[in-house]
Chain A
Amino acid sequence: MQTVEEMILKHPFWSGLNPQYFPLLQGCATSERFEAGQLIFQEGQEADHFFLIQTGQVRLYAFVPGRGSVTIQTVSAGAALGWSWLFPPYHWHFSAQANEVTELMAFDAKFLRDTSEANHDFGYELIKRVSSMLLQRLQETRLLLVDFYGFPR
């Protein structure tokens, strides 16, 4: 059974982070486990955690009246989940559900925000990594728009 400390150290998101920040992160992190089909967060709810996926798969979806829940993307082990905690109004834009047994590390969002404001060095490290993942996610989303498999009919 891995300790929270070990999990933080190993997750690719924190790769290259100065070890002096690990106690800080440990202090605001909890390990959570979701069963298949369990809701992780819902659209509109307060976004009070930043998640890193250890194992499993999470689907991001929007609930559309008449169409049911429409899956936008799935995120898997090694990835980060959730950005709405970064900026006001701090509400989730989409809903997230575990597709299979999923283990997450949840970091207290307010703590991360406050700490970043007080300690810009840490803030920069955090934002650097968040931006990198955001860029990745944006590029993947844009490629979806390109529609690899379609061609003009």
Chain B
Amino acid sequence: MNISDRVSVEYAGLRELFGVLRANGYQLVGPRLRDGAIIYDELVSISDLPAGWTDEQEGGKYRLREREDGALFGYAVGPHSWKKFLFPPVLREWQAQRTDSGLQFSKEPQKTPRYAFIGVRSCELHAMAVQDRIFMGEKFVDPVYAERRKNAFIVAVNCSQAGGTCFCVSMKTGPQARAGFDLALTEITEDGCHCFVIEVGTEAGAQVLRQIPHHRATEQDQRAAEQVVQRTAEQMGRVMDTVGIKELLYRNYEHPRWDEVASRCLTCANCTMVCPTCFCSTVEEVTDLTGEHAERWRKWDSCFHVNFSYVAGGSVRASTKSRYRQWMTHKLATWIDQFGTSGCVGCGRCITWCPVAIDITEEVRAIRETESLRASTLQPKGPIACKPSKK
């Protein structure tokens, strides 16, 4: 069995896959049904998966509905992303003790979990690659992220249906998983069969696959798998025109559309919490009552919080407009100069989970379409494309 080989596995074989991974010391995490949503949490067996469920997503709307088949992965992405495991929402960074001789700083004893991520979508693979560039950069590396990333075994899934707010096709991040996985499976639930066409991504993936019943995927199987992906690609809920998007946004920092979206935005920060690439964090000092013990905790943060940009004298981004503009221009424009790729992977979560259904694709379209109208009035020009900060 080599990399890029495709095999077919029956439902029972997939059940064994879970067992093999656990036997190899992996902690399985993947989609589960909880509180009316499909989230990511620990999986014990294949029956923990939300079989026979699907989601209906639109701007500001997320509902679950039962399917007619028993598909294990017949839904799109939910409010969680894998950054929850690689970049933990709450993390103790270090501890400090005050002694007679001074201060003692001690690192966190790291017991890095070995995760097996089950059901990673193509957009999510891209999101992980995007976060790799942040946390495992040229100059500084986050050891917690790097260790968890290195240890993770990834079982990707090619989406069999698009979510209502998806636009991975526009962002060129799916629906076909192309890289960054150990195994990538496409679920086939037609003509009475329930099987999986699995593509081998790495030697580690091949090793696991060899231990479960499988056979080489037939022409028919492979075609069926391709059709699943093709169908999904045609179902995209949204479109984002990315041509010249960085320059477009760089030119339009003073566009009146920002005021318009600001009149709707609640700065609730939902979008940043559900976004699989958002990486902002803050630190919090925690002490005990004796005053001898202190800890530094890292927590997820959001640029939508007014204190996020606080400097002596006040917050630089006090208005809602400036904060929404920061988030969107960072995600779609300055990210490119910072890290060489877009920060957006087209998963649609920010659209689904925004309580007022602000749609990032619509905002880009609105600016693009009304830019020429603006040019006729006296408006200051925004910055032209900057030199990238990284070489």
Contact residues of A between 33 and 52, Cβ < 8 Å to B: none
Query: What residues of chain B lie closer than 8 Å to A151, measured between beta carbons?
Result: 312-314
Q: In the complex, what residues of B have CB within 8 A of residue A152's CB? A: 313-314
Q: Is the interface of B mostly helix, strand, loop or mixed?
A: loop
- Hey, what's the 0/1 contact readout for A126-152 against B, CB within 8 Å counting as 1? 000000000000000000000000011
- Which residue of chain A has its CB nearest to the CB of B314? A152
Q: Which residues of A contact B (CB under 8 A)?
A: 151-152
Q: Once bound together, how far apart are the Cα atoms of A152 and B310, in whole Å?
A: 13
Nearest A residue to B313, CB-CB: A151
Docked pose: A152 CA to B313 CA in angstroms? 6
- Residues in A neighbouring B312, C-beta threshold 8 A: 151
**Complex: how many Å from CA A38 to CA B33?**
88
Q: Which residues of chain A are near B313, meaning CB under 8 Å?
A: 151-152
5 contacts between A and B (CB under 8 A): A151-B312, A151-B313, A151-B314, A152-B313, A152-B314
In the bound complex, CA of A151 to CA of B314 (Å):
8
How far, in angstroms, from A151 to B315 measured CA to CA in the complex? 12
How far apart are the CA atoms of A152 and B318 in the complex, in Å?
A: 14
For the complex, give the distance between the alpha carbons of A129 and B314 in Å: 40
Closest 3 CB pairs of A and B: A151-B313, A152-B314, A152-B313
Tell me the bound Cα distance from A114 to B98 in angstroms: 81
Cα(A151)–Cα(B312), bound, Å: 8
Proximity bits, B301-329, A CB within 8 Å = 1, else 0: 00000000000111000000000000000
Total chain B interface residues with beta-carbon distance under 8 A? 3
How far, in Å, is B319 (CB) from chain A's closest CB?
A: 16
Contacts of B314 in A (CB 8 A): 151-152
C-alpha spacing A151/B313, complex, angstroms: 5
Q: In the complex, A68 Cα to B202 Cα: how many Å?
A: 85
* B117-157 at interface with A (beta carbon < 8 Å): none
Distance between Cα atoms of A152 and B312 in the complex (Å)? 9
Instruction: Considering the complex, give the chain B residue whose CB is closest to the CB of A150.
Output: B313
Min C-beta distance of B306 to chain A, whole Å: 15
Q: Could you tell me the distance between the alpha carbons of A152 and B314 in the complex, rounded to whole angstroms?
A: 8
Q: Report the nearest A residue to B311, measured CB to CB.
A: A151
CA–CA, A151 and B310, complex, Å: 13
Q: How far does the Cβ of A56 sit from chain B's closest Cβ, in whole Å?
A: 37
Nearest B residue to A151 by beta-carbon distance? B313
B318 CB to closest chain A CB, in angstroms? 11
Docked pose: A5 CA to B313 CA in angstroms: 52
Nearest CB in chain B: distance from A1 CB, A: 52
A21 CA to B313 CA, complexed, in Å: 53
Closest A residue to B312 by CB, please name it: A151
Whole-angstrom distance between the alpha carbons of A51 and B312 in the complex?
Answer: 43
Query: In the complex, what distance in Å separates the CA atom of A127 from the CA atom of B314?
Result: 43
Q: Considering only CB atoms, which chain B residue lies closest to A153 in the complex?
A: B313
Chain B: minimal CB distance from A148 (Å)? 12
Q: State the Cβ distance, B315 to closest chain A Cβ, in Å.
A: 11
Closest Cβ of chain B to A2, distance in Å, is 46
A11 shortest CB reach to chain B, Å: 36
Task: Report the minimum CB–CB distance from A144 to chain B (whole Å).
Answer: 18
**A153 CB, min distance to chain B CBs, angstroms:** 9
- Report A42 CB to chain B, min CB distance, Å: 41
Interface mask (B278-322 → A, CB under 8 Å = 1, otherwise 0): 000000000000000000000000000000000011100000000
Q: CA of A62 to CA of B314 in the docked complex: distance in angstroms?
A: 35
A126 to chain B, nearest CB (A): 33
Q: Nearest-CB distance from B309 to chain A (Å)?
A: 15
Task: Report the minimum CB–CB distance from A149 to chain B (whole Å).
Answer: 10
Shortest distance from the beta carbon of B310 to any chain A beta carbon, whole Å? 12
